Amino acid sequence: MLKTKSIHSPGNIILSSKENFVRRLSGFLGRGFLFLVTSTAAVAILFIIYFIAKDAIPFFQIRENAFAEFFTNSHWYPSAEPVQFGVLAIIIGSALVALGAIVVAVPLGVAASVYLSDVLPFSIRQFVKPVIEILAAIPSVAYGFFALVVFAPLLQKQGGTLLSVVWWILAIPLSFLAVMVLSDLLTSKMSSEKRRKTGRAVLVVILSGCVFWALYSVGGALNNLNITTGTNALNVSIILGIMALPTVVSVSEDALQAVGRDFRQGSYALGATRAETVIKVVLPAASSGILAAVLLGVMRALGETMVVWMASGNAAQIPVPWYNFLEPIRTLPATIAGDMGEADHVLGSARYHVLFAMGLVLLLFSLFCNLVSEWVVSRQMKKLRGGA
């Protein structure tokens, strides 16, 4: 005889009250267990905030006037006598490379995501996606190594030429377009067709002359640029921009996809071209999602350690003028990583705690960015759902 007590045997479909109780209890306990395990993630983030703050706060207690020194002094001399822990230059360095990375990543990333979501057919998109995934997957230390060993010497030796080539590649098509559109707009008010044509031709010639002269002088200036060191803010910005690209592309593509088909079809029905549809309808509707993409890109650039540690030159100084990207700078993560080796055997010193204070600044900023981007995305979702 088979003795089965499981629910599979038809005889036991109705449970006794004891069995029922055991079942409910085990179900409850099971759920509790699952909940506990799941909350590990929540506990982790709370622990991270707590433990970073716990080691950061002593810095502000040990030193007099530490708060003002931390944020307004730009002299970082952690092992000099007297010691100075001014982090301003380092914060500015971080902000600078984040800005540079955004300048590289956002135009490229948004253009690429628009192309992926609105122009490319699905079959080709499948081949482009892995490119983005691989860009995201390459370890940061490999990017840093590339920046230090390949890119920095190139920038130092042929930086001027390189920059002017990039300038020409970017500027020529854009300025050509600008000339066409401008001359078209300026002549659109003219009455007769014939006058409009001649006016346009004249304007095109004049404008392109001016534009070419401007381009040429800028290109020449770039070509003669003397780059003293290849490990500078420009190098790091470009590499960080490339690293932030996948984030920007995937988040803004999600945002563009979230804008429904009906928006696009409505715009096409009114006679708009694809460009006009994207620029005037899709992008505004997805603007908050793209803002989230920018924020996440900033976070990626700010939080990156290896690239800036290896290739930024690690000079704690504010460039003169501040937008001089050709000077070496120093960033928060690089300072934490680089100085901990000298600080962790003097546990409890101001030098040890100031690094945690920097970590706290970094952490709080990334939390802020994360919350804002999450809020922005959820608001967009709500709006689009309401609007559709």
Partner 1 sequence: MRLETRKLLDKSFSGLGLFAILIMSGALLVILAPIFKRGAEALFFEGTVEHRRMLLDKFERGNRAVLEEEIARVKAVRQPIYDILDRFEDEQTHKLNEIIRACEDLGNSEGSFGKRIKRRLNRLERAETFYDRLKIVRDISLRAEKYNGPVADLKHKAKVITELVSQLETQKEPFFQLKEILHELLGPAPGEDLPVLIRKQYGQSRWDRAQVKLHLFFNVETWDYSDPSKMGQLSYTPRVEQFRGTVLEELFPYVEQNQKELLEPRWTFYWGFLTDKSMDAHMFGGIMPEVLGTVYLTLGAIIFSVPIGIIAAIYLTEYTRGGYMVSFLRSCISTLAGVPSIVFGLFGLAFFINTVQVSSSKSVLAGSLTLALLVLPTIIRASEEAIKAVPQTYKSAALSLGAGKWHTVLTVVLPSALPGILTGIVISMGRAAGETAPIIFTAAVSVMGALYNPIEALSHPTYALSWNIFNLSTEHEAVDEIRHVQFGMVMVLVMIVLLLNLTAIIVRARISKKLQT
Residue ranges in 293-312 that form contacts with partner 1 under rule CB under 8 A: 296, 299, 302-306, 309-310
> Tell me, what DSSP letter sits at residue 278?
I
Given CA atoms 249, 370, 306, 69 in this order, what sign does their dihedral have?
Answer: positive
Length of the chain: 388
Beta carbon of residue 137, minimum distance to partner 1 (angstroms, whole number): 4
Rounded to the nearest 5°, which phi and psi values hold at 77? -125, 80
Residues 56-95 that bind partner 1 (CB under 8 A): none
Minimum distance of partner 1 from residue 154's CB (angstroms): 10
Structure-block tokens of residue 93 = 């360095």
Residue 274 contacts partner 1 per CB under 8 A = yes
> Considering the complex, what minimum distance in angstroms separates the CB of residue 101 from partner 1?
13
Beta bridge partners of 85: 76
Instruction: Kindly tell me which residue out of 2, 269, 320, 347 binds partner 1, with binding defined by CB under 8 A.
Output: 347
Closest CB 81 distance from partner 1, rounded Å: 25
Q: Which stretch binds partner 1 (CB under 8 A): 68-76, 133-141, 282-290, 321-329?
A: 133-141
* 327 contact partners, CB below 8 Å, separation of at least 6: 232, 233, 313, 315, 317, 319, 320
DSSP SS3 for 76 = strand
Q: In the chain, what's the furthest Cα-to-Cα distance?
A: 105
Q: Considering only 59-67, 77-85, 317-325, 336-344, which stretch makes contact with partner 1 by CB under 8 A? A: 336-344
CB atoms within 10 A of CB 97: 30
Output 90 or 217, the one with its CB closest to partner 1.
90
Looking at 15, 22, 141, 201, which residue binds partner 1 (CB under 8 A)?
141
Residues 230-269, one symbol each (x = binds partner 1 by CB under 8 A, - = not), give ------------x--x---x--------------------
Query: Which contacts of 193-202 are long-range, i.e. CB under 8 A and separated by 24 or more positions?
Result: none
65: alpha, beta or left? (left if phi > 0; alpha if psi -120 to 50): left
What residues between 12 and 41 interact with partner 1 by CB under 8 A?
A: 27, 30-31, 34-35, 37-41
Question: Which letter does DSSP use for residue 115 in this model?
Answer: I
User: Nearer Cβ to partner 1, position 153 or 323?
Assistant: 153
Between 97 and 355, name the residue whose CB sits nearer to partner 1: 355
Residue numbers 182-201 binding partner 1 by CB under 8 A: 184-185, 188
Structure tokens at 161: 């030429």
**Burial state string for 21-31 with b = 16 or more CB within 10 A and e = fewer than 16:** eeeeeeeeeee
Q: Least separation, in Å, of the C-beta of 125 and partner 1?
A: 10
- Residue 134 found at the interface with partner 1 (CB under 8 A): yes
Extract the tokens encoding 374: 């999450």
The Cα 197–Cα 348 span in angstroms is: 77
Local structure of 1: helix, strand or coil: coil
- Please select the residue that binds partner 1; options are 15, 131, 186, 214, rule is CB under 8 A: 131
Give the dihedral sign, CA 68/73/75/76: positive
What is the nearest approach in angstroms of partner 1 to the Cβ of residue 20?
Answer: 13
The answer to the question of residue 376 lying near partner 1 (CB under 8 A) is no
Burial class of 213 by CB neighbour count within 10 A (0 to 12, 13 to 18, 19+): exposed
Give the x/- contact pattern for partner 1 in 107-126, rule: CB under 8 A: xxx-xx-xxx--x------x
Q: Which is nearer to partner 1, 7 or 25 (CB)?
A: 7
Report how many residues bind partner 1 under the rule CB under 8 A: 95
Q: Are 317 and 81 in contact (CB under 8 A)?
A: no
Burial of 145 (0-12, 13-18, 19+ CB in 10 A): middle
Given candidates 28, 228, 270, 379, which one binds partner 1 under the rule CB under 8 A?
Answer: 228
Interacting residues with partner 1 between 158 and 177 (CB under 8 A):
173, 177
The window from 262-270, 285-293, 319-327, 358-366 that contacts partner 1 (CB under 8 A) reads 358-366
Stretch of 81-89, 216-224, 254-262, 365-373 contacting partner 1, by CB under 8 A = 365-373
Scanning 78-86, 178-186, 260-268, 283-291 for contacts with partner 1 by CB under 8 A, the matching segment is 178-186
